[in-house]
């Protein structure tokens, strides 16, 4: 199993002062640049610690958000490419449906891969619905744009020799010639996020790593669809390193310490859904058929993790939302969830969330690295053998 330290680089000190949405329309006077300066550097320090502790690095981006100040995951990665030594560097991801210029995306990716000596992992994402307010890109046709941009980036990164031209539905270039080419040849590993089976199958056909976030009981059907399609397409069982799962993760020495840290991180889940209603699902972001089904059910489109009201720490772990505990408890929570999901090869760990401070974050990461990581690595090796034997 591989472990990825993730942080949304939130402006959490502002949360208590914000009424209503924390995104899109939120007043930017709530973002004090001096506080942001401290926080950005703190979060970067935590990734540098992660590198030393044997974690890999996972960064994201959002826009106009008190939940995430990273306005460009590739800017963050560009810094870490130089300041870290061992960690794999995952952007998950670049919102190619919102970028008007995928050529520039390909160039920036290649540059990071070369500076880092081949440590880049590329995640290309559809992006959250509310991002369309800022990017101004059309929600209708978003997946057509996604796949054209994806195909373009892959060709731009892998093309060698003569420049090529591209005259697509959405993008038009006369002379594509990426300098430098990626350090990893033919190109860095690719990741795609999904929550539903149809996208999962497409990711399987491509053979990319499939990542899913806070997906709980939806994870197993998604992973099963990937496995089925992977076997059909590639003629061999999908290895465990194709399955990535994101949850809030925190370690403590005893119940009291874990409870304190849990209470500091949990507000993340309350702030996260505070999206202006109009931006939770703009028309066209989902298919008309899915939207019609939601209308028929009277669904207002708010995030629902499917947890009971007032969930316990154990409910949160069972639901795949928050793995919090002592090293032994975490081992049990993560292996139990992984078993139910059908095997997780990459644990994407939101290791800083809510009000967890720098010392607590680093302490939790250190404890996990020392006490839990080695045992989970052994577990994943056994699990991978089970998976490949079962499918064979």
Q: Which residues bind other proteins (CB under 8 A)?
A: 133, 136-141, 169, 276-279, 282-284, 288-289, 291-293, 295-298
- Whole-number minimum distance, CB 27 to other proteins, in Å? 16
Nearer of residues 121 and 286 to other proteins, judged by Cβ:
286
Nearer of residues 34 and 296 to other proteins, judged by Cβ:
296
The conformation of residue 278, written as its DSSP 8-state character, comes to: G
Nearer of residues 17 and 277 to other proteins, judged by Cβ:
277
Q: How many residues does the chain have?
A: 392
Whether the ω angle into residue 213 lies within 30 degrees of 0, i.e. cis, is: no
- Whole-number minimum distance, CB 359 to other proteins, in Å? 41
DSSP H stretches of helix in 195-271: 197-206, 219-234, 255-265, 267-271
Q: What stretches of the chain adopt beta strand conformation (E)?
A: 2-7, 56-59, 89-95, 120-125, 164-167, 172-176, 190-193, 209-213, 243-251, 322-325, 346-352
Nearer of residues 142 and 356 to other proteins, judged by Cβ:
142
Nearer of residues 20 and 298 to other proteins, judged by Cβ:
298
**Tokens 């591209």 belong to which residue?**
166
Three-class SS state of 230? helix
- Whole-number minimum distance, CB 88 to other proteins, in Å? 37
Nearer of residues 18 and 134 to other proteins, judged by Cβ:
134
Nearer of residues 75 and 292 to other proteins, judged by Cβ:
292
Three-class SS state of 126? coil
- Whole-number minimum distance, CB 171 to other proteins, in Å? 15
Burial of 237 (0-12, 13-18, 19+ CB in 10 A): middle
Both tokens of residue 335?
Answer: 């292996």
Nearer of residues 75 and 278 to other proteins, judged by Cβ:
278
Rounded Cα distance, 349 and 58, in Å: 9
- Whole-number minimum distance, CB 156 to other proteins, in Å? 24
Question: Are 153 and 108 spatial neighbours (Cβ–Cβ below 8 Å)?
Answer: no
Both tokens of residue 347?
Answer: 């644990």
Closest CA to 222 of 320, 294, 141: 320
- Whole-number minimum distance, CB 141 to other proteins, in Å? 6
- Whole-number minimum distance, CB 304 to other proteins, in Å? 17
Nearer of residues 287 and 314 to other proteins, judged by Cβ:
287
| Rounded alpha-carbon distances, angstroms, from residue 315 to 25, 69, 309, 310 | 33, 30, 10, 9
Closest CA to 83 of 134, 44, 111: 44
Beta-sheet pairing, 120-125 with 209-213 = unpaired
Per-residue buried b or exposed e for 150-189, using 16+ beta carbons within 10 Å of the residue's own CB = bebbbebbebeeeeeebeeebbebeebebeebbbbeebbe
- Whole-number minimum distance, CB 257 to other proteins, in Å? 43
- Whole-number minimum distance, CB 177 to other proteins, in Å? 29
């Amino acid at each position: 199993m591989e472990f990825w330290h993730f942080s949304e680089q939130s402006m959490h000190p502002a949360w208590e002062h914000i009424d209503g949405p924390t995104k899109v329309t939120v007043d930017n006077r709530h973002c004090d640049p001096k506080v942001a300066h401290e926080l950005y550097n703190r979060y970067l320090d935590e990734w540098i610690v992660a590198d030393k502790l044997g974690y890999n690095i996972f960064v994201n981006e959002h826009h106009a958000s008190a939940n995430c100040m990273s306005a460009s995951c590739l800017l963050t990665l560009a810094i870490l490419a130089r300041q870290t030594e061992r960690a794999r560097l995952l952007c998950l991801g670049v919102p190619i449906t919102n970028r008007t210029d995928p050529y520039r995306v390909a160039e920036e990716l290649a540059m990071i891969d070369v500076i880092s000596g081949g440590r880049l992992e590329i995640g290309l994402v559809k992006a959250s619905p509310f991002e369309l307010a800022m990017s101004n890109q059309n929600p209708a046709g978003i997946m057509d744009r996604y796949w054209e941009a994806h195909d373009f980036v892959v060709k731009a990164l892998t093309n060698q020799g003569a420049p090529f031209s591209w005259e697509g539905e959405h993008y038009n270039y006369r002379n594509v010639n990426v300098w430098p080419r990626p350090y990893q040849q033919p190109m860095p590993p690719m990741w795609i996020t999904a929550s539903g089976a149809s996208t999962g199958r497409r990711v399987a056909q491509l053979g990319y790593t499939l990542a899913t976030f806070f997906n709980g009981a939806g994870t197993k059907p998604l992973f099963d669809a990937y496995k089925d399609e992977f076997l059909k397409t590639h003629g061999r069982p999908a290895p465990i390193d194709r399955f990535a799962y994101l949850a809030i993760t925190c370690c403590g020495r005893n119940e009291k310490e874990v409870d304190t840290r849990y209470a500091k991180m949990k507000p993340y889940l309350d702030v996260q859904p505070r999206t202006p209603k109009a931006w939770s699902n703009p028309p066209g972001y989902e298919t008309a058929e899915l939207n019609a089904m939601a209308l028929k059910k009277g669904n207002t489109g708010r995030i629902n993790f499917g947890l009971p009201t007032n969930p316990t720490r154990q409910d949160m772990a069972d639901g795949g939302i928050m793995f919090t505990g002592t090293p032994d408890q975490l081992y049990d929570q993560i292996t139990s969830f992984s078993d139910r999901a059908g095997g997780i090869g990459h644990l994407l760990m939101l290791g800083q969330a809510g009000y967890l401070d720098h010392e607590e974050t680093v302490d939790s990461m250190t404890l996990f690295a020392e006490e839990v990581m080695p045992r989970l690595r052994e577990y994943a090796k056994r699990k991978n053998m089970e998976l490949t034997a079962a499918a064979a």
